[in-house]
C-alpha cells in the first residue's frame, strides 16, 4: 500500500470500482491499523487507483488494509449497468441509434441516444422487449477478446473506432448469444437478476438526440 498524502491511498489490488464510463465509484470502508475509514471516492489516476479518504493522517506506506464494499450500492450499479447494455442493444436493433452517453446510479439511470427523435421513440415497446429478454434468463459472460475478432461480429453493435486505437485486447461483456460490448464496468451473472423497467422520461436533447431515464419496476 502507498499513501497519496492529503488525498487517499493506493493498494496493490482492490475490489473498489473507480468512477468512469458513466458508472459511479464504489463506496465502503477500509480498515487500516485497527481504524475505520470511509471511502469517499475512488478515482483512476494514470495507471493507479486512488481511494479517497477524509484524512490520511496516521496511515503509513506498507500498512495492512482490509476493504469492505457497500454491497447494496455495488449490486445496484451492477444491475443498472447490465440493464443499460440490454437497452442499448434493443434501441440499436429497433431504431438504429447509438448510445452516446449514460449516467448510472444504483436505483435509476439515464441514457442518451443518437440519431433518434422523441417522436419516433416508443418507451412502452422498449420496456416490453426488455421484459421479453430478461424472461429468457440469458447468462452474462465476461472475457477478453482481440479487437480484430470483434470487428467482424454482428452482435457488436457499437463502433470500435470510438475506443482508443492502441488497445487491441478488449474486456468484453456478452449477453449470451444476443449482444457483445467492450466494457470495463461491473455486471451481474444473468438477466434473471433484473426486473422489468419503467421508462420514466424521454426528452429531446437537440437535433437527432434524446435522453431516456428509467428505473426498475418495484
pLDDT digit string, tens, across residues 169-191: 999 999 999 999 999 999 999 99
| Architecture of the domain whose range is 2-69 | Beta Barrel (2.40)
- Domain positions in the chain: 2-69, 75-216
Class assignment of domain 75-216?
alpha beta
Task: Name which of 217, 79, 197, 84 is nearest 131 in CA terms.
Answer: 197
pLDDT of residue 139: 98
For residues 59 and 1, what is the distance between their CA atoms, to the nearest angstrom?
10
Residue 160 confidence (pLDDT) above 90: no
Residue 23 confidence (pLDDT) above 90: yes
Amino acid at each position: 500500500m502507498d499513501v497519496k498524502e492529503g488525498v487517499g491511498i493506493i493498494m496493490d489490488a482492490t475490489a473498489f470500482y473507480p468512477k468512469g464510463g458513466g458508472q459511479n465509484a464504489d463506496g465502503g470502508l477500509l480498515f487500516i491499523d485497527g481504524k475505520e475509514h470511509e471511502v469517499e471516492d475512488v478515482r483512476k489516476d494514470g495507471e493507479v487507483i486512488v481511494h479517497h479518504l477524509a484524512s490520511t493522517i496516521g496511515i503509513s506506506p506498507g500498512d495492512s488494509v482490509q476493504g469492505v464494499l457497500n454491497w447494496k450500492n455495488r449490486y445496484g450499479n451492477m444491475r443498472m449497468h447490465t440493464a443499460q447494455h440490454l437497452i442499448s442493444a434493443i434501441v440499436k436493433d429497433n431504431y438504429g441509434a447509438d448510445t452516446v452517453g449514460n449516467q448510472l446510479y444504483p436505483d435509476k439511470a439515464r441514457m442518451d441516444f443518437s440519431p433518434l427523435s422523441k417522436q419516433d421513440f416508443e418507451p412502452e415497446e422498449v420496456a416490453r422487449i426488455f421484459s421479453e429478454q430478461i424472461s429468457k434468463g440469458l447468462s452474462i459472460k465476461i472475457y477478453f477478446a482481440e479487437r480484430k475478432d470483434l470487428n467482424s461480429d454482428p452482435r457488436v453493435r457499437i463502433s470500435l473506432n470510438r475506443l482508443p486505437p492502441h488497445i487491441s485486447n478488449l474486456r468484453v461483456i456478452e449477453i449470451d448469444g444476443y449482444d457483445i460490448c467492450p466494457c470495463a464496468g461491473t455486471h451481474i451473472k444473468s438477466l434473471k437478476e433484473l426486473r422489468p423497467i419503467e421508462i420514466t422520461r424521454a426528452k429531446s436533447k437537440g437535433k437527432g438526440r434524446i435522453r431516456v431515464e428509467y428505473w426498475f419496476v418495484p
